[in-house]
Every structure is written in C-alpha cells, then in structure tokens.
Amino acid sequence: MTKREHSTRPVEFDCCGRQGTISGMSIMPIIPAQAPHHHKFALRKLQTPIVNCDKFQAVITHNNECAWVFHELRPDDYSRVSYFGFTVFLPLTKSGLEALLADDLDMTDPPLSAIAGRNEQPECLYWWVTAVDNSVFKIVPLIVNELLGQRYRHLDIIARIGSKAGGASMSRVGFEPVDPAKSGIGNLIIYRRLSNRSLDPALVEGRWSPKATFHQAQKTIQGRERAA
C-alpha cells in the first residue's frame, strides 16, 4: 500500500477516537444557561436554518449529556483557550426514532417527548447540529471518545446530509443512507456501531443491511442483556 493510499483509507467513525488527534482541544458539556451564546454562534456559522433559541435552550436543559462545547488550546499556553464551537446529539426515544424514520419528526422543532431524559435509555442518537470554526472532523475524536461510554456505545447514529461534500465525508467514516434510494442532500444517513454489526450476517464485511432494522438490533441486544 502506498503512502497516499494509506492516507485516504476510510476510518470507521467508532475508531476515530484512536486514530484522530485530540491534543490541543478540550470538550465539556454545554451548560444550559450558555445555550443562547452557542445558538447565536450557530446562526453566524450555519447556512441552513436551525431551531429557535428558546427551543434550543429547552432541549439542552432537558438533556445535555450529548451536547458538548469545544475549545482550542493555545500551543504556547494551555491556560489560554479559544472558543471552537459545539455539537449536539439528540438521544431519541423509541417513539422519537419511529417518527424520524417515518419522516414525521420536525427536527427544527423537536418535541421534548421524542428526546430521552437523563434517566432514560434512548433508542438511537441523532446528530442534530454542529457549528465549528474549522473542519468538523477536528472534533470527531473527542466526540467518539464520549460516545464509547457504556450508556451510548451500542446506539446507532443517524444524521441528515447537509451538503454534497458533507455527505461524502460522512460516507468515508462509515455512514450510509437509511434508504438506499434516497442519498441526496436532506436525506437520512446512519452509522451502525461496530458493536452492533455482528447481529446481522450482512455486517460481517463491515457493511450494514438496510433490511436489518434498528428495532431488530435493539431487541437482540436487550435479549442478550436479559440472558446475562
């Protein structure tokens, strides 16, 4: 394998925490009181409309376990940091996931009933909004390390394609269309976690089958947990 081939070889999203560079960046949960500041930053950075500020703060207040703010550390003085941006994943309930897959969930105004609370076990994670000063993949290793915790490590991740370039980048780390017939901007894509792929023979080669639904995977996991 040539050096160029190695550098462009896809890396699974779940492996980015081991492959990526984390030094020079910090990650912390978003404090609900600071939500308006992050929302204002997102309005400047994003070209697509996002939820209004009141709903954004309500979501963060409801559950901020998968909402993080990032700062870039100054190489000459780690006591000085600069704001880099934030990202929010929504831990969806079973009904929230079903509504999302049925295209019946408005993600610009998601009801709190579709989002798991801090003491609830969600069905999946939805990558809701990210606004950063530079490439989003600079923060992916930090995100992955957070999502490898016991509570979230088995949850598949769903996102929506925001741009052609963004869709291509997500594809390189293992995301695929939820519906193979719908792979353009605005459509849903999924990353099936590595820990779930053994549930379906079609996943042995590192690819997932759209016919293997989330519910089938989750039922299998739950059955194994009860048996243990």
- Tell me the pLDDT tens digit for each residue of 168-201: 777 777 788 888 877 777 789 888 887 666 544 4
Neighbouring CB atoms inside 10 A of 210's CB total: 13
pLDDT of res. 208: 36
Report the 3 state secondary structure along 143-161.
Answer: HHHHHCCCCCCCCCEEEEC
Neighbouring CB atoms inside 10 A of 213's CB total: 12
Q: In sequence order, what are the residues at sequence separation of 6 or more whose Cβ sits closer than 8 angstroms to the Cβ of residue 148?
A: 14, 17
Q: What are the structural domains, with CATH classification, of the chain?
A: 3-227 (3.40.630.30)
Binned at pLDDT 50, 70 and 90, residue 8 comes out as very low
How far separated are the first and last CA of the chain, in Å rounded? 43
pLDDT of res. 86: 94
